[in-house]
Each structure stands twice: as C-alpha cells, then as structure tokens.
Amino acid sequence: MKIAFCSDHGGFELKTKLIGFVEEMGHEVYDFGCYSEASVDYPDFAFPMAEAVARGEYERGIAVCGTGIGVSICCNKVKGIRCALCGDVLSAELTRRHNDSNVLAMGGRIIGPETAKAITKAWLSTPFDGGRHEDRIGKISAYEEAH
C-alpha cells in the first residue's frame, strides 16, 4: 500500500518512528513534511497530504500533530477524506470497518510510540466491512457533493 505521512513539529518525532515502522511492514511511504522540530503550521502539511490521498495518489494517509486534533480538522476539510483521530486500537479498527477512514490522525504529545504503532498496524490491516456502512459513507459523499 502507498501511505502518505505528514506532521507538524509536535508530531515530528512520532511521525519519524511511524514511517520506519510502516516501511518495515512493507508499505511504500511518502513524507509531506515537516522535516524537523522547528515550529511550523500544521495546515501547511495536512492539506497537501490529504489532497494527495483524495486524488488517489496514495491509498491512505497518516497525520500527526501535538494532539492530532489540528491535523484531523484540516484533513476533514478536504473533499473525499474521512480522517479519524484515534488514541486506541479499537477505535482504529472500528473506523476502518465502519467508516472506511482513509486518513488516520494521532497526537504525538498524547500517545507513546508503542501505542501509536499498534494503532497504525490495526488501522492498516483492518478492511472496510461494507454492507450497511456503505449507505452511510454514501450519505457523507452526497453531502460533500451538494456543498
């Protein structure tokens, strides 16, 4: 799978660890930045990453900032993105199964690297259940088209 990453300075350290972990899992990775712990604005990295996922250049994206909140808000402004902020494995599994989320957000100052790796592994390996959930995703897509 092709996975896009982005972070701000608050998520840089965790993003760097996750990139190596995801590559070890056999996925192809692209880093949209940032590239250091110097203070930056998360929208400058979250929007381009989410847009690339929405265009289909990457199958999924992972966004990390200090809390995960800012990047998740940005990503969800992009048409076609269903970004889920997760701090536990069950939420990661359920957002894939029920919401077909295509971007995962996490907080680098909120969760540790081992928890983030477990969340990432679950999120990348869990399929969308389809069925009754497809109708719900369809309603989200129809709303996006209308607005």
Residues assigned a catalytic role? 65, 98
The DSSP-derived string for 50-68 is: HHHHHTTSSSEEEEEESSS
3-state secondary structure of 81: coil
Tell me the one-letter amino acid at 53: V
- State both tokens at 102: 């295509």
3-state secondary structure of 26: coil
Tell me the one-letter amino acid at 19: I
